[in-house]
A = this chain, B = another copy of it.
Amino acid sequence: MTTADQRPMRADARRNYQRLLDEAKVAFLEHGADAPLEDIARRAEVGIGTLYRHFPTRLALQAAVYQEQVDDLCAKAYELLDDERSGNALAAWMRSFAEYATSRRGLMQTLKEVIDTRSDLFARCHDEIRGAAGAVLAEAQQAGTVRPEVTVEDLLRLTHGLSVATQSAPETTERLLSYLLDGLRPQP
Binding site for B on A (CB under 8 A): 34, 106, 109-110, 113, 117, 150, 153-154, 157-158, 160-162, 164-166, 168-169, 172, 175-176, 179-184, 187-188
Given A181-B183, A183-B184, A187-B182, is A165 in contact with B176 using a C-beta cutoff of 8 Å?
no
> For A160, what are the chain B residues with a Cβ–Cβ distance below 8 Å?
164-165
Write the chain B residue with the least CB distance to A113.
Answer: B106
* B172–A165 touching, CB < 8 Å: no
Across the interface, A157 reaches (CB within 8 A) one of B117, B165, B187, namely: B165
> For A109, what are the chain B residues with a Cβ–Cβ distance below 8 Å?
164
Across the interface, A180 reaches (CB within 8 A) one of B34, B168, B183, namely: B183
- Taken together as a complex, chains A and B put the C-alpha atoms of A187 and B179 apart, in Å, by 10
> For A169, what are the chain B residues with a Cβ–Cβ distance below 8 Å?
153, 157
Across the interface, A172 reaches (CB within 8 A) one of B113, B153, B184, namely: B153
Given A180-B180, A183-B184, is A175 in contact with B154 using a C-beta cutoff of 8 Å?
yes
Q: Which among A110, A154, A161 has the greatest number of chain B C-beta atoms within 10 A?
A: A161
* A157–B166 touching, CB < 8 Å: yes
- Taken together as a complex, chains A and B put the C-alpha atoms of A69 and B185 apart, in Å, by 34
Question: Smallest distance from the beta carbon of A98 to chain B beta carbons, Å?
Answer: 10
* B154–A179 touching, CB < 8 Å: yes
- Given A34-B34, A164-B164, A181-B183, 8 extra CB contacts under 8 A: A109-B164, A117-B168, A157-B172, A158-B176, A161-B162, A161-B176, A179-B180, A183-B184
